[in-house]
A and B are shown apart, each in its own frame.
Chain A
Amino acid sequence: MNTVQEAPSVPVRVTRARRSTTWAAIAAVIAIAVLSYLPYLVYTGTTNLLANFFYVLIMASMWNLLAGYAGLVSVGQQGFIGLGAYFVLILADQGLSPFLAIPVVTVMTAVVGLVVWWLVSRLRSGYFAITMWVIASVCELIIIQISALGGGTGTALPGLNLSPTLLNAYTYWATLTVAVIVLAAIYYLLRSPIGLVLTAIRDDEAGARSIGARVAGTQRLVFMVAAAGCGAAGALYIISQQFVVPTAAFSVQWSAEMIFITIIGGIGSIEGPILGTIVFFVLQQTLSQYGTWYFIILGIVAMVVAIWAPRGLWGLISDKLGIRLFPVGYYLWPAGAAPKRSLLPGPPRLTISDLSPISRPSYDSATNRFRRLPGEP
């Protein structure tokens, strides 16, 4: 008689948080509090640089969501950035305050994103990437011809009649707020059931489709979110520059920045673009007197990382130290080793491979039975 032994169920507790996560949450709250108070402490040069940092971080995070999770590599996101900037200009010309225009513009670029998605949804890989580029170029060529928006020479943004100090502080707070909202939204999205679909697409798009995951609908949602995020970043860009010119707003340089930042920092993780943006700004500030050298170095490093360390700096760090600041996956804990509530050192982490003999009993063809499991009487 052939009996198949059932794998005994080992009590396993599943949690999302670990110690490093608790620390990260506390650190994040403190960091946001300190960053919010910063305009009272430092000169405007610092807050302007940080405002710049935040909107680049928003762009990189959006590109990471698009390429790292939904598998949509675009080199045309500058189209949404430029449109976001020019939508602010149009609304400000109508008398709306540029700061109040930010949420309106975000919705507007999301709608544009839906239209563009209809056009590009059936394209894949290189076709998708370069068609997005063409669409961004079309947007630029149309904007250039509208003389009411300053044509090719650009125009100043009206409606910012504040003292320079106050204007800088407001701009800084606006970029900080949007950056925090964007990161929180990505975190929420990836922890939701949609996040599971996205992670499945990231790992294997065909596989995800074959098990019935709603790949197309999820990609459309992410494409619209990325369009909205880039639109918001473009709005923040025009507000912080107080001036806009089509060649800069629609520059492919934006795409280069988001792609290099995400790849170097670590594609397919929330932490990656944050780390990448820090690396980008450190490099830019230290090498600023050598022209475009920082960008050449960044490009070479990005190529090397993409081929030989595809999960980027954050991948190396989190593999070494086993930390995740934004846990979107799950941790498995064997019985009696549940995470302590305290912040004291906890038990070692169990990975899936540690549990594999339990979850996958091996079959012995000689005896036509499943092998006994380790630890079984």
Chain B
Amino acid sequence: MSWINAVIQGILIGGLYALFACGLSLLFGVMNVINLAHGDLAVVAAYVALGVVAITHVPAVWAFLVVVPVFAVLGYVLQRTLFQASLNRSVLTTLLVTFGLSVVLENGMQQFLSANSHSIDIGTLVSASFSVGSQIRIAYLNLVILLVAVIVLLGLQFFLSSTKNGRLIRAVADDREAAQIAGVNYRHVFGISAAIAFGTVALAGIAFGMFSQFDPTIGTDQLLLFAFEAVVIGGLGSLWGTLGGGILLGIAQAIGANIKAADQVLAGQLLFLLILIVRPQGLTGRRERA
């Protein structure tokens, strides 16, 4: 029974991982760049949400109404300035600049906010749950996060397939030069993609802050690697693959934790390496060079 429970808990946490991963996947698909500061941005968003709650005294659940738009704007601005300047050099420069940003953010948070753990207080909701059968308990919070992830992915799917900007993003992702010839301002499209990526990672960071304790180092130690692993396991270029990747990662971690608490993270990483060897294009990906 504990195994079934582990799988169910893994599925629930998988939604959160997919929420982390979709922004990373989108930026990689459009710009061929992996944003190494992705995990730290999530942690920054969680801290900003803490600040918003402390100042305005609104219920913590509504903090995302402020934080997500702010992060989307930040993403657009950062993309049009720092990231675009480094992209003009090369993809490798962008990789190094995002790594630099990650280190600066993490050390800055440690300097100003101390290394103490925090969590976003949502009262009794954090522990409220209902039972299925005698041994399986499902927390409302986890279920809500999974639902939010599915809604966000549905919204993203709709945006990419049915709106003008979404179609521009797909055009630039497919062939930037051809899109440019057709008159697309690819820098603006990159900016929109970054705005979406930053918005979703802010949402994921806030959800993570409600779900668990966070501190300045967790962004690089865990969140970035989890997001990347979910992307690779699911396969690039497919939002539902990312959800599947996140859920599989969640299940692997839950089963690992069921064997031994210390094996939780390791089990997810071994699944990632296995997929990399056996099926490098991911579960849903078409065979192409990574």
Contacts and interface: CB of A to CB of B under 8 A. Distances in A.
Interface stretch (A12-20, A294-302, A322-330): A294-302
Given A125-B91, A259-B99, A134 B269 contact: yes
Interface stretch (A29-37, A41-49, A103-111, A136-144): A136-144
Contact of B103 (A126, A133, A293, A295): A295
Interface residues of B, number: 42
A256 B98 CA distance: 12
Interface stretch (B15-23, B27-35, B167-175): B27-35
A292 B111 contact: yes
Interface in A93-128: 119, 122-127
Nearest to A291: B111
Nearest to B267: A141
B125 interface: no
Contact of A127 (B101, B103, B290): B290
A329 B91 CA distance: 26
Contacts of A291: 110-111
Interface residues of A, number: 42
A123 B290 CA distance: 6
A135 B36 CA distance: 16
Tell me the interface secondary structure of chain A in the complex: helix
Contacts of A134: 225, 228-229, 269, 272-273
Contacts of B290: 122-124, 127
Contacts of A127: 34, 232, 290
Contact of A303 (B82, B110, B111, B273): B82
Contact of B107 (A141, A299, A308): A299
A143 B262 CA distance: 12
A266 B28 CA distance: 27
Contacts of A67: 92
A292 B86 contact: no
B111 A296 contact: yes
A260 interface: yes
A129 interface: yes
Contacts of A303: 82, 86, 96-97, 100-101, 104
B111 A293 contact: yes
B89 A296 contact: no
Given A75-B99, A263-B96, A303-B97, A122 B280 contact: yes
Interface of B: 28, 32-34, 36, 82, 85-86, 89, 91-93, 95-97, 99-101, 103-104, 107-108, 110-111, 220, 224-225, 228-229, 232, 262, 265-266, 269-270, 272-273, 276-277, 280, 289-290
